[in-house]
Amino acid sequence: MPAELSPRLAAASSSSPSPSPSPSPSPHGAPRIIRAGEQDDSRLPPQTAATTRGKRRRGAWHPRASSSWGTEWDRAYLLACAAGLLVDPLFLYAVSVSAPLMCVFLDGWFAAAVTALRCAVDAMHAANLLLQLREACSSPRREDTDEEGAQPGRDDARGAGGVPQRGRSKKGVFLDVLVILPVMQVVVWVASPAMIRAGSTTAVMTVLLVAFLLEYLPKIYHSVRVLRRMQDFSGYLFGTIWWGIALNLMAYFVAAHAVGACWYLLGAQRATKCLREQCAQAGGSGCAPWALACAEPLYYGRGVTVGADRLAWAGNATARGTCLDSADNYQYGAYQWTVMLVANPSRVERILLPIFWGLMTLSTFGNLESTTEWLEIVFNIITITGGLILVTMLIGNIKVFLNATTSKKQAMHTRLRGVELWMKRKNLPRSYRHRVRQYERQRWAATRGVDECRIVRDLPEGLRRDIKYHLCLGLVRQVPLFQHMDDLVLENICDRVKSLIFPKGEVVSATTNQHGWLGFPLLSAN
């Protein structure tokens, strides 16, 4: 019987060995141990046993794990967590210095846009939290309605390991609520304008930085926890190696973005400190104490009325030349490049240059100039140490991913070279060599170097039978002889199916092994 369309062959044994005497014989003929509380399906009628097995199987799977929707939602939620880590540092760029008036203000339109993005990310967090709470509330009801739910059978043991307990964890719920809290929104829209009106132009940036760190560090922990939970539950995230490399690069970019935003805010604080010192030197006649705070703390680009005192401070050429025009006249230290940013009206440049500085500093481990101010020294130490750790992890992870990508191909090439040497040493005819090469190519295209039979064979008995039942049921039902058989019989047949690959043009025939079992082909065009 020629195999068409490069079929995949499954040879199943139709007869079973003689059962050995045991209290509970298994379908394989070997004694099967019945655990405490487990029901023996072999002593039930076929319909009853199949129904009971189906109940246990249906009660074992997690509601989100059994559908592709749950996997897609987890992936979307992980990307939402990454987006949240990108959005939060943008709040720090709302602080700016007015170049004409030399006063501190908040960019109102920019803060509104960042707040809208943050609300969209918080909506994803809230939806995921509601979904987790719903699953946690529905799990007890599902266990109560399941007849076999409390029995420690093999299917229950299988299912219990796959159900994530995050929905029932108070720590997980607390973290989900913590990342939704609008800390930065309150600080930007309520606390910061009030402090600027009160003249605390330097302290407002310290409050912004502290609030950012208090909210951002738990978000990093929460995102890592979500990532680990997805890896432990599904074993992979996006299915390809390149997605793993992209996630590592994204994490590196997020770190550079956060470091750059903090660097910009500290540079703006240094420029404000310089202006305050120049204001103190000018005296009360040349600079009023509230002149460093703009009349409108949240500025939306509208024209404002400026008093004589602010105009007098705006005309102070010494303060402008010392603090805003050049970084050579004041000790900016590591924040020298921020002089060209704090009074820059371009929002794009105000964001891109700190990101570039963050990438450069984290990649080169810093070549930073520093003053003796303790906050600047601590910031430089954290930046350099974090860059060393991130670069090491990035290079190591990408090396692992690339090795995983190329190792199987190298193994395939090694196998092909060995086969070629063997065929040459045995002086096989050209037609036989062509058939061997065709088989090797089709086997690699079908399996990609993964030995499916070995993976399934090493699994526990219950899990192995369920997986083979899932993989082979549709193929077995194509045989007219098996179309009307019970599910328990089909499960035993599927457990004996072996997957083989036959290239196009090969002859497939039924065989009998040494035990007298008959093998017959089940052809699949996959």
Signed CA dihedral, 329, 335, 340, 344: sign only: negative
pLDDT at 278 exceeding the cut of 70: yes
Q: What are phi and psi of 10, to 5 degrees?
A: -125, 120
> By C-alpha distance, which of 10, 113, 30, 75 is closest to 456?
10
Q: Which residues pair with 522 in a beta bridge?
A: 10
DSSP class of 44: S
What number of other Cβ atoms are within 10 A of residue 410's Cβ? 11
> Which regions of 259-398 does DSSP assign to beta strands (E)?
293-299
H helices of 239-307, where? Answer: 241-286
Biggest alpha carbon–alpha carbon distance for the chain? 110
pLDDT of residue 510: 57
Evaluate whether 267 touches 339 at the Cβ level (below 8 Å): yes
Distance of CA 4 to the CA centre of its chain: 42
Strands 518-524, 511-512: pairing kind: antiparallel
Evaluate whether 321 touches 313 at the Cβ level (below 8 Å): no
DSSP class of 25: B
- Where do the structural domains in the chain lie, given as residue ranges? 70-135+170-372, 452-502
Strands 518-524, 8-13: pairing kind: antiparallel
Both tokens of 324, joined, read 């805003």
pLDDT at 13 exceeding the cut of 70: no
Confidence of residue 263 (pLDDT cuts 50, 70, 90): very high
Strands 95-97, 104-107: pairing kind: antiparallel
Confidence of residue 228 (pLDDT cuts 50, 70, 90): confident
> By C-alpha distance, which of 519, 353, 524 is closest to 446?
524
Q: Which residues pair with 104 in a beta bridge?
A: 97, 293
Confidence of residue 169 (pLDDT cuts 50, 70, 90): low
Evaluate whether 499 touches 521 at the Cβ level (below 8 Å): no
How do residues 172-201 score in pLDDT, each as one tens digit?
788 888 889 999 999 999 999 999 998 888
In what order do the strands lie in the sheet containing 104-107? 95-97, 104-107, 293-299
- Which pairs with CB-CB distance under 8 Å and at least 24 residues apart come from 30-39? 35/152, 35/153, 35/154, 36/152, 37/151, 37/152, 37/153, 38/151, 38/152, 38/153, 38/154, 39/148, 39/151, 39/153
Side-chain half-sphere of 80: how many Cα atoms within 13 Å? 22
Residue 11: which H helix or E strand, with range? strand 8-13
How do residues 487-510 score in pLDDT, each as one tens digit?
777 777 777 676 666 666 666 665
Both tokens of 157, joined, read 């043991």
How do residues 134-165 score in pLDDT, each as one tens digit?
877 775 555 455 444 444 433 443 333 334 44
